[in-house]
Chains A and B, each alone.
Chain A
Amino acid sequence: MRLVVAMIQPYKLPDVKKALFDANIHKMTVTNVLGCGQQKGFSETYRGVVHEVNLHKKVRLEIAVNDDFVQPTVDAIVKGAKTGKIGDGKIFVLDLVDCIRIRTGERGHEAIG
């Protein structure tokens, strides 16, 4: 079992969701985050004072998958999120020790679904 964590551009979320649905992956958690990688910051000014902002708004997806779904999930995310420009984002694949469905108490592969 793996947990796929991806940081993507917020405006790419609809495309990524569609790509995931097409690959039959429907379960995910989405949060708003601030982050930076290689993308340079931008300047804001306020009443005569300039300040640099280098934490960009990003969207974070977390998807728990069984091993054979890892590659399709990664492929779908890349397909949806890629624009070729710096700032497209990153995907992390983590080991998932256990997964429990709260409603029924199922564990492991059945719980992931």
Chain B
Amino acid sequence: MKKLWQHWPRVLTLAVLGMMALPFSALAAEPTAKEALFVANNTWMLVATFLVFIMHLGFATLESGLTRSKNTVNILFKNVAIVAIGLLTYAAVGFNLMYPGDGHWIAGKWLGFSGFGISAPDGDAGLIGYADGQYTYWTDFIFQGMFAATAATIVSGAVAERVKLNSFLLFSTVFVGLVYPFVGSWKWGAGWLDDLGFYDFAGSTLVHSVGGWGALAGVIVLGPRIGKYVKGVSNAIPGHSMPLATIGVFLLWLGWFGFNGGSVLSADPGPVSLVFVTTTLAAAAGIIGAMVTSDVIQKKPDLSMVLNGSLAGLVGITAGADTVSVLSSVIIGGIAGVLVVVSVIFIDSKLQLDDPVGALSVHLVCGIWGTLAVGIFSTNPDHTFIRQLIGVIAYGAVCFPAAFAIFSVIKSTMGLRVSEKEEYQGLDIGEHGMEAYAGFQIFTNE
């Protein structure tokens, strides 16, 4: 017969279980279905947030792989700095510029601002009441903040290997701090384009083409890398690491599950799972489209083109991932894959604009294609080609001149480009005084 004190394991277990019930006593006696859904929704949105975050690692490795090893520290540095700049400016200014909310519009419904800094509304208004049980105020901020930082980093690849670090950081601060949220308010902030019926599910226009227009302005104002165009002929400047580039693309694809999946703005199983499928199939179709095109044009399939192809498919589907059929997503992705190969060659050799990583082709060209494709393929009859075209033109008409102006001002004041000597020696030594591969001998020879 056990003594009383020998029952201690049972007592301990009961006590622990009893204590676990304590937190739930803070809610209503039983959580309601609405509260439980809120937790599920918000949790998915936070998962999507850090998936978008990992895209920065994707950008960093992709850009490093497609450029020369003597500039790798500089590329990595820019990518790290942009995350910081993007998120901090979004907290200071960007979030409230992009989502002014009713009553805070200043000029028509294309410029609004609801104040500096971020602060959650009190009580339920910042939690379950903030977005109808889909996510909290803080989730909204950090999820959208990750998008802003992504738009900024698109430019860094196109201007790589010859832009001055401080000049680029200054450009990024202004562009992502002010231009991105300003034009973003037109659609996602419930501005005039939203009223017009323009549709951009996850940012083919608002993120990718905005970054693309900035990149285009940068490439034009900056000029090509030394030795890229000699006597009218385009020279190849190969990237130093295809493995890094491939790692980057797969990380970006992984992030896209959050980029598109989170843009459903809830954990609603139907839309989120559909978006996962359309997004992934578009990427796969982009790879095949690029593979075939590259094989036909270049005679041998080019890995860097195929990598760009998957991103092209992803960018292309981003405008309409939740509103096109699965077959349409394959078509959109496949065409994007073809477009990216053709446009890389056209931009590099015909237009003679030096874009080391193909950012213009992936983000600008396919961003525009993805946006217009919504007008062609959407199952929603309110999405028309004309409305999509108006949006594309509106963004181009503001983002490109704005970026061009910022770059030009920087060029004529602090200078935009490194010296010729520094460009030969490598920006790692010139801008940072260190090497990415200390101890290795990786040279640039032809």
Q: A residues near B, CB below 8 A?
A: 9-11, 13-14, 17, 30, 32, 34, 42-46, 57, 59
Contact = CB atoms under 8 A, between A and B. Distances in A.
Contacts of B441: 32, 34, 57
A11 B435 contact: no
B434 A46 contact: yes
B418 interface: no
A44 B435 CA distance: 8
Instruction: Kindly list the 6 A-B residue pairs having the minimum CB-CB distance in the complex, ordered from nearest.
Output: A32-B443, A45-B433, A14-B446, A11-B424, A44-B433, A13-B445
Given A10-B445, A13-B445, A57-B441, 9 more contacts: A10-B444, A11-B424, A14-B227, A14-B446, A17-B446, A42-B429, A43-B433, A44-B435, A46-B438
Nearest to A17: B446
Where chain A touches its partner, the secondary structure class is strand
Contacts of B444: 10-11
Given A11-B227, A14-B227, A59 B434 contact: no
B280 to A, nearest CB: 42
Given A42-B429, A44-B429, A45-B433, A57 B443 contact: yes
A3 to B, nearest CB: 21
Interface residues of B, number: 13
Contacts of A14: 227, 446
Contacts of A13: 445-446
Nearest to A58: B443
Contacts of A44: 429, 433-435
B435 to A, nearest CB: 7
Contacts of A34: 441
A11 B425 CA distance: 9
Given A44-B434, A45-B434, A10 B443 contact: yes
A76 B7 CA distance: 97
Interface in B134-178: none
26 contacts: A9-B424, A10-B445, A11-B227, A11-B424, A11-B444, A13-B445, A13-B446, A14-B227, A14-B446, A17-B446, A30-B445, A32-B443, A32-B445, A34-B441, A42-B425, A42-B429, A43-B433, A44-B429, A44-B433, A44-B435, A45-B433, A46-B434, A46-B438, A57-B441, A59-B443, A59-B445
B43 to A, nearest CB: 39
A13 B424 CA distance: 13
Question: Which has the most chain A C-beta neighbours within 10 Å: B227, B429, B445?
Answer: B445
A14 B446 CA distance: 6
A13 B441 CA distance: 17
Interface in B30-69: none
B235 to A, nearest CB: 8
Nearest to B443: A32
Nearest to B426: A57
A9 B424 CA distance: 10
A52 B134 CA distance: 57
Nearest to B430: A42
Contacts of B424: 9, 11
